[in-house]
Amino acid sequence: MENISIGIQKSGRLSEKSLDLLKESGIILANGSRKLLSSSRNFPLEAVFLRDDDIPQYVFDRVTDVGIVGENVVREKGHDLQIVERLGFARCRMSIALPRSVDFGSLDQLNGKRIATSYPNILETFLAETHVDAEIHVISGSVEIAPGIGLADAIFDIVSTGSTLISNGLKEVEVVMESEAVMVTNPGLSPDKQEILEKLLFRIRAVRKSHDHKYILLNAPNDRLDEIIKVIPGMKSPTVMPLAEEGWSSVHSVLNENEFWEIIDRLRELGAQGILVIPIEKMIT
Ligand code: PRT
Ligand code: ZN
C-alpha cells in the first residue's frame, strides 16, 4: 500500500498546530517529532520533520508529497506549488516598517533607501510592481534591529501583533501580503497518493469546520418557536422536540462562531431559556 509523505516543521511556530491537525484528524504518529521520520500506524501517512524554509523545495522535488508551511515562505521560495488547503493558523502579515520618527507620505519615499529583509524575493517583486527603486539588504535574523544600528533605512518583515516593531522604535507603513499556514503539493501525484490526499483533506476540513462551530441546545416557549428557529437555521434545519412541560420545546442546532454572541442575545430576547453551548469535535456536512 502506498503512503503519502508530509513535510512538517520540526520545531517552531508551525510545529504544534500542524501535529494537532493530524491528531484531530485521527492520525496517530509513532514517535512524535523527535525523529526525522514518523509513520502513522492507522493512516497511510509518513511525517518528515524539516526546517520550514526547506519544505517548499522538498515538495517541489517530490521528496515529500505535501507540506505544511507559511504562505510567506512558499511565495519567497517561488516554486510553482499548489495550495490545496488554507489552514487558518500562524496568521501574520509581511510589511514594510520605518523608524517612528520618519514622516511617511507615500512609497516613493523609499526610492534610493536601503531596506533590510530576510524575504528579498517577495520584496523585490513588490518594489518592481510599485516602481520603487530601493536597495535590498538581505539579513538572516533580527531584521528589526537594522535601522537602529544604521544598517538600513527601513525593514520588510513578518508582523503579527506589532509589538516587535514598537519595541524597536518602528512603525508599519505598508502591508505587502497576508499569510497563514497552508498545505501545498506539487500537482501530478499518483492516483493512489491523490486518493490518500483527498481522504486527508476530507478529515482536515471536518476538523477545521468543527472549530468554528458550536452545538446549541435551548428551551423555547412554543409561541415563539417560529421566530427562534429563524434565528438559528442549523446545518439543515434545527431539531425540535417537545419538553415534558406543556408549551415548551427543546431546540438543537449548530451555530457559527462568528455570529455566536449576536444570536445568543437575540435568542434571549425571544424568551429562550436554559441555553447550552457545546464544542463540536468533527463536522461533516
Ligand atoms: O527553524 P525554522 O527555520 O523551521 O523556523 P523559523 O524560525 O524560520 O520560523 P518560525 O517558526 O519563527 O515561523 C514559521 C512561520 O510562522 C513563519 O514563516 C510565518 O509564516 C509564521 N508566523 C506567524 C510568524 C509569526 N507569526 C511571527 N510573529 N513568524 C515569525 N514571527 C516573528 C517575526 O519574525 C517577528 O520577529 O515574530 C516577530 C513579530 O511578532 P510580533 O507579534 O511582535 O509582531
Ligand atoms: Zn525558517
* Average pLDDT for 104-118: 97
Mutate to test the pocket of ligand 1, among 18, 68, 92 (most ligand atoms within 8 A of CB): 92
What mean pLDDT, rounded, does the chain reach?
95
pTM above 0.75, yes or no: yes
CATH number assigned to the domain with residue range 4-89+180-210, chosen from the 4 options 3.40.190.10, 3.10.620.30, 3.10.20.30, 3.40.50.2300: 3.40.190.10
Q: DSSP assignment of 60-127, as one string?
A: HTTSSSEEEEEHHHHHHH----EEEEE---S-EEEEEEEETTS----GGGGTT-EEEES-HHHHHHHH
- C-alpha of 192 from chain center: 27
| Residues ≥6 apart with Cβ < 8 Å to 1 | 44
Same fold, 4-89+180-210 and 213-279: no
* Average pLDDT for 17-28: 96
Q: Above 80 in pLDDT, residue 177?
A: yes
CATH 3.40.50.300 correct for 92-178: no
Q: What is the pLDDT of residue 140?
A: 94
Whether ligand 1 lies within 6 angstroms of the CB of 67 is answered as no
- C-alpha of 67 from chain center: 14
Residue 284 corresponds to which cell in the numbers above?
A: 461533516
Question: In this structure, which residues have their CB less than 5 angstroms from ion ligand 2?
Answer: 52-53
Q: Which atom of ligand 1 is closest in space to residue 143's alpha carbon? A: 36
Q: What is the pLDDT of residue 32?
A: 61
Domain boundaries defined on the chain: 4-89+180-210, 92-178, 213-279
Tell me the per-residue pLDDT of 140-159, one tens digit each, with 9 for 90 and over: 999 999 999 999 999 999 99
Q: What is the pLDDT of residue 236?
A: 78
Whether ligand 1 lies within 6 angstroms of the CB of 76 is answered as no
Q: Which atom of ligand 1 is closest in space to residue 13's alpha carbon? A: 11
Q: What is the pLDDT of residue 121?
A: 98
Q: Above 90 in pLDDT, residue 233?
A: no
Contact 181, 89 (CB under 8 A): yes
Whether ligand 1 lies within 6 angstroms of the CB of 73 is answered as yes
Q: Above 80 in pLDDT, residue 63?
A: yes
CATH number assigned to the domain with residue range 213-279, chosen from the 4 options 3.40.50.620, 3.30.70.120, 3.30.420.40, 3.30.460.10: 3.30.70.120
Q: What is the pLDDT of residue 26?
A: 95
* Average pLDDT for 129-137: 98
Q: Where are the beta strands (DSSP E) in the chain?
A: 4-9, 37-39, 45-50, 66-70, 82-86, 92-99, 114-117, 135-138, 154-159, 170-179, 181-185, 213-221, 239-242, 248-256, 273-279
Whether ligand 1 lies within 6 angstroms of the CB of 237 is answered as no
Give the number of other Cβ atoms within 10 Å of residue 197's Cβ.
20
Mutate to test the pocket of ligand 1, among 16, 36, 52 (most ligand atoms within 8 A of CB): 52
Whether ligand 1 lies within 6 angstroms of the CB of 95 is answered as no
- Reported as a pLDDT band with limits 50, 70 and 90, residue 33 is low
Instruction: Give the CA-trace dihedral at 21, 25, 31, 35, to 10 degrees.
Output: -40
User: CA nearest 91: which of 166, 163, 13, 156?
Assistant: 13
Q: Is 136 exposed, middle or buried (0-12, 13-18, 19+ CB in 10 A)?
A: middle
% of the chain surpassing 70 pLDDT: 98
